Amino acid sequence: MSASGLLTLNVVVLLLAGCAPRVATSFWKIGTPADSLRPGYTVIHAEGKTRHCYPVTEATDHFLPPLGGERGSCGERGSYYAFHHHGVAVESELMAYRIYFDKKQTIDLYCKRTPQLELAESHWYPNDSLLAAGYGDDILRVGGTVGVGSVKFWNGKKQVHIENIASRTQRIVRRTRHSATIEVAVKGWQPISSLSGEDGRGLDMSVQYTLKSGHRDMRCDVFCSSLGDSLPFRGGQEGPALCTGVQSIPAKSGFNWNSISSPIGEDGRGLVLQLPNGVLLASWGTDWPVNDSAKYAKETVGLAVFIPKEYAGALVRDKQNNLCLLNLWVPSVNQQSVCDGESGGTSRPSIKRSGIDHRDLVAERVAHFYLTVVGATKENHPVARTAEEWYAYLRRWAKHLK
C-alpha cells in the first residue's frame, strides 16, 4: 500500500474510533433455544452454565399478597436468577457496575485492566482467554452489605434491604455515546408499618445511576413519592431513614471502629470526613472477589461515597457498613438540576430534571450523591495503590462535587 493510501486508512480508523460508543449498557434475559429468533439473541457460557439470552431494556417483578393475607416479604430471588449477570449493568472504559435484581439492590463492581468496553464480549464473566488478553473482572465481594453507593433502609439499628414491596423494576433509562443511566425502582414499598400512607399503598422509590465516558465515578439520583413530612425523608437523627455508604473490606471482618479516627492503616479501617460541601465516606482493603480462591487472586480495592451537604443527614454505622442517612427534599418547580452534577450551589433540584426520566413519581422527594472506586491491583494504571494515595485522591475528587 502506498504512503498516501496508508495515511488515508489511518485517518479512517481514527474517525471510526472517534465515533465508537464510549459507554455501554448490558441487560440480558435468560431464555431458551426457542428464543433464537429474538433480536440480539446469543449464547453465553458463564458460571459453569450455557445460557440462551436476549437483550432487554426493562423488566419488572410483581409481588402479590397471599390470598386473604397481607403482602409478604420479597425475599425470593426470581429475577436475580432470571437475568444474566443478575441485573442491569453499565460500563465506561474504566469501570462497570451492575445492580442486583433482588431485595439487596446492591451495586457490584467490575474493574478494567485496560481502558476499553468489555461487557459485550465478557458478559461480566471473562473466560480464561479474555483474562489472558488483559480483560478486567469482578473485584469485590459485597455479601449482604451496602457495597458502595447502594440505597438501603436504616431501621434505627442497622441497614436492611428493600423488601415488602408491590413491584421491583430495572431498566436502561437512556444511553448516548458519552453517558448512560440505569435504574432500579420499587412501588408500594412499606419499610415499616407507619410508612404505608393513608391509602396503605406505601412508597414508590427509584434510584438512577449515571456513568460518563472516561469516568470511574457515578452520580446517583434518588426519587421518592411523598408522605408529607414523614420519615424516611429526614435523616437528621438516627433514623429510620434511607441511607447509603461503603462496606468494610473484607466485608466479614467489619470495620475497626477503634481506629476510624486514624483512617490510614490496615484492612478494615475507614475514612469519615466532614467537608465544607458535604460528607465523604471511604474504605480500603483486600479480599477475594469471589468464593473461588483457587482460581482468583485477592484484590485490593478502594471505595468511596460523597453526599452533598444538603442531602447529608446523621452518620451511622454497623459492623460492616459506614453509612450516612439521606435528607430528601421537595424539589422546586422553578429551578433545574442536571444529571451530570454541574448545577451550582446548594439549591434544591427541580422536578423538571434535564435528561432524567423518573416516570410517574409526581409528588417527589429527591436527593443525589456520588460514588467512586479504584481497583488498585486490577488496573494497570490505578489512581491509587495505597490507602494514603486513595484518601488523598478522594479529597481532590470530592472538592468540586455539588
Q: Kindly state whether residue 3 falls inside one of the protein's structural domains.
A: no
C-alpha cell at 218: 457515578
The Cα 167–Cα 177 span in angstroms is 31
**Model confidence at 237, in pLDDT bands (50, 70, 90)?**
low
pLDDT at 309 over 60: yes
**Model confidence at 254, in pLDDT bands (50, 70, 90)?**
low
Number of other residues whose CB lies within 10 A of the CB of residue 383: 20
Question: Looking at residue 192, what is its pLDDT?
Answer: 74
Give the model confidence (pLDDT) of 192-204 as tens digits: 765 555 556 788 9
Q: Kindly state whether residue 134 falls inside one of the protein's structural domains.
A: yes
Q: Can you give 66-78 as a three-state secondary structure string?
A: CCCCCCCCCCCCH
Question: Looking at residue 18, what is its pLDDT?
Answer: 52
* 128 CB-near residues (< 8 Å, 6+ apart): none
**Dihedral angle at the C-alpha atoms of 156, 363, 208, 389, nearest 10 degrees?**
-50
Residue showing cell 482467554: 129
The Cα 266–Cα 398 span in angstroms is 23
pLDDT at 117 over 70: yes
Give the model confidence (pLDDT) of 157-169 as tens digits: 899 999 999 999 9
Question: Looking at residue 247, what is its pLDDT?
Answer: 94
Q: Kindly state whether residue 227 falls inside one of the protein's structural domains.
A: yes
**Model confidence at 235, in pLDDT bands (50, 70, 90)?**
low
Give the model confidence (pLDDT) of 70-116 as tens digits: 444 444 556 899 999 999 999 999 999 999 999 999 999 999 999 99
Q: Kindly state whether residue 327 falls inside one of the protein's structural domains.
A: yes
Average pLDDT over residues 124-151: 95
Q: Kindly state whether residue 6 falls inside one of the protein's structural domains.
A: no
Rounded to the nearest integer, the mean pLDDT of the chain is: 81
Which domain range does residue 40 map to?
24-399
0.75 cut: is pTM over it? Answer: yes
Total domains in the chain come to: 1
**Model confidence at 47, in pLDDT bands (50, 70, 90)?**
confident
Give the model confidence (pLDDT) of 352-397 as tens digits: 443 445 555 444 789 999 999 999 999 999 999 999 999 999 999 9
For the chain, how big is the Rg over CA atoms in Å? 21
CB contact at 8 A, 305 and 149: yes
Q: Kindly state whether residue 12 falls inside one of the protein's structural domains.
A: no
